[in-house]
Amino acid sequence: MELTLEPGKWVYYRFSDSTVVGKSIIGNSNDDKEWYDRMDWDIALSENGIRTNSGESGRGYGGICYIDNETFYEDSYSHLSSIYYMVDTLNVPIVVPIDR
Amino acid sequence: MKILYKIILSALFICQPGITYAQLAIRPGTVLPELELKSSLKSPVRNGNNTDFPTYIDNSLSPYFPAIINQHGGSCAQASGVHYLFTYEMNRVLEREVASNPKENTFSYRYTWNFLNEGKDNGSHASDGVNLILHHGCVTAADYGDEDEYVYRWVTGYSKYYNAMHYKVTKASSVNLKERSGIEKLMQYMIDKGDGHPGGGIASFSLTGNWDKTNYDGPSEAGIEYIMVPRGSGGSHAMTLIGYDLSVEFDCDNDGKIDDDEKGAFIFVNSWGTWWATGGKAYMPFSGFTRELGDGGFYKYDSHAEVLCIETAYHEPTLTMEINMTYDSRNDLTLSIGVADGIQENTPKYAVYPVIVKAQGGDLRMQGTNFDSGKTIEMGFDISELKSKADEMKAPCWFFTVYKTQLGKNGTGKVNKIAIHDYSSGQDNVISQTFIKSNTIQVGSNKYKLPTKEWYMDNKGNWFKVVMTPANKYVSNSDYLKKFEWNKIYGIRKANGGYAKIKFTDYNPQTGKVKFSVNNYEYK
């Protein structure tokens, strides 16, 4: 899959039909409010990072977590329901590995 | 379990004048251990040389005793156990006069009754109300508010539940008055509890079957003009023993003479207003407990002659959970609160189970009112007993679980807010809270997690940390994007609750093109 980012903009993407749904200006509160109320997007990408349709970013049930390569290729989704998902706050939660 | 119990066999108390039948208990009475006296006073000897004890005691005259009330409906057991017994015993320990602030210094019997009556005018057991206070404390009459506002109301407001947590029963016990030794034990207890606080104790008791009051004009130190007799149509009713009068003489078997065991009586208060008997009080002769049914006694079973005593304490909670939830059939719900180490855990290692939300309260909105606003309630639970367990953990994760069954109508609703309050520093430190946007409570277990640390372990044993990054800060340097996207794979929960996995494989900052692989799942 491929999509094109634009400087200073969020690009909204929906997984179910692999569609770029739209774009908004980063930091524009009116744009943020409009996209908050929409349920037709799952993630948004920009040079800054990722948003999910959750928490302060959207009214959806979205969230994000880190998984490893093996989990990515497992042909099952049942394990995904037991993972803890971070929802968006005013800051975007980015999950990174730490040393044990 | 904090206390080991033994069973009290008793019928439910419906408490209204004229009722001639006794209902079966909706919930079994709490079992209680035998009262252990702390007083070093000797056993009183009537007409003997021992003059340690007064001829009569009336603890209702104490400044710690609340006003005589006229109970609502079938709430006698809670009127006795909470309004009279708990209020008096708590004020006595605090050495706080009721009159200094009557509403603040009196506890609400309606608070406990409405957790126990299944949302209807049902009776209950005083011991169940006491057990509830042991776990959760008791809301004051001031915090309960207008008693005429919605009869079966559950209090809403975290501050009211937090205030209630400070006033607790620490122990409940019983005295069997079937034998003279039990009578004398309770008399000793009424004079002096031996705990360093002024005055003695009182006890809740009950009558079933046939009983009534009659005029009494015999010897009396307390000036009470009525005495109970084992005939009439009294039904099941709970009342409160508040003293004794050794001068009383009552021919309970109508044989024309006063036997030794027909001398002396307890004084009790009823909850039918001050118009009843002598200012709401009457005598209960000792023989009523010690004699057999038909020979002057009131009780068919020896176990029914047991009375309820309590110990109380002022408590400072160190850890609480605040919840806000919306639901329209409160008897569907049972709650648990627990803690485990790390948000990767799916079940708590330690848990407590609130007894005030335990598939009870009737098929009503959470507050028990008729308005839609009554569906939403704010409550607080004392979880101080879990604090030491949580303090031993690396990354305590709190669990709030709502168990839904379907009793009566199919209720609907959701949890709105959960917060943990840590008071161990002397201040209210909210260490974790979450606002659930939309999550309909389903039949079965509904689990909500509150992590307190920003890192966790996945099911492969890898530890991760959540790094918060400003969402709207424009970064012109693509190295930031490269840092967290190159070779990174994310699990995504989609807007509709389904799942997807996304693996970023390439990013060209010149063209802005991002390449990625996706595994999408349409099922939740």
**Which of A30, A59, A95, A98 to mutate to test binding with chain B, by most B CBs within 10 Å of its CB?**
A95
Calculate the alpha carbon distances from B516 to A20, A65, B345, B503 in Å. Answer: 13, 16, 31, 5
Q: How far apart are CA B306 and CA B204, in angstroms?
A: 9
- Of B403, B309, B3, B324, which Cα lies nearest the Cα of B161? B324
Return per-residue pLDDT of chain B as tens, 524 residues.
333 333 333 334 444 332 222 223 334 566 688 998 876 555 554 444 445 668 999 999 999 999 999 999 999 999 999 999 999 999 999 999 999 999 999 999 999 999 999 999 999 999 999 999 999 999 999 999 988 777 899 999 999 999 999 999 999 999 999 999 899 999 999 998 888 899 899 999 999 888 899 999 999 999 999 999 988 877 889 999 999 999 999 999 888 999 999 999 999 999 999 999 999 999 999 999 999 988 899 988 877 899 999 999 999 999 999 999 999 999 999 999 999 987 667 789 999 999 999 999 999 999 998 888 899 999 999 999 999 999 998 778 899 999 998 777 889 998 888 889 999 999 998 876 665 665 688 888 888 878 776 555 555 656 555 544 444 332 223 333 334 444 577 888 888 878 898 888 888 878 888 888 888 876 44
DSSP for B55-82 reads SEEEGGGSTTSPPP-B--TT-HHHIIII
Query: How close A27 comes to chain B (CA, Å)?
Result: 5
Q: Is B448 on the interface with A (CB under 8 A)?
A: no
Q: Does A61 contact B438 at a Cβ distance shorter than 8 Å?
A: yes
- Type and span of the H or E element at B381: strand B376-382
- ipTM value of the model? 0.90
Question: Is B519 in the A-facing interface, judged by CB distances under 8 Å?
Answer: yes
Which residue stretches of B176-299 are H helix? 180-191, 286-290
For residue A24, the chain B residue with the least C-alpha distance is B472
Q: Which residue's entry shows tokens 């739209």?
A: A22
The verdict on B455 touching A (C-beta cutoff 8 Å) is yes
Closest approach of A22 to chain B, Cα-based (Å): 15
Going by the DSSP 8-state scheme, the letter that residue B13 receives in this structure is B
Judged by CB atoms closer than 8 Å, whether chains meet at B474 and A69 is answered as no
| Burial class for B472, CB neighbours closer than 10 Å (0-12, 13-18, 19+) | middle
Q: Is A37 on the interface with B (CB under 8 A)?
A: no
* Neighbour count for residue B56 (Cβ, 10 Å): 19
Cα nearest neighbour of A51 on chain B: B471
What does the block give as tokens for B506? 């390439």
> B481 and chain A: CB distance < 8 Å anywhere?
yes
Q: Name the residue in chain B with its Cα closest to that of A74.
A: B519
Dist CA B467 CA B459 (whole Å): 20
**Half-sphere exposure of residue B220, counting CA atoms within 13 Å on the CB side?**
20
Q: CA nearest B21: which of B229, B294, B236, B238?
A: B236
* CB contact A60 to B (< 8 Å): yes
Q: Considering only alpha carbons, which residue of chain B is nearest residue A68? A: B489
Interfacial A residues in 73-92 facing B (CB < 8 Å): 77, 79-86, 88-92
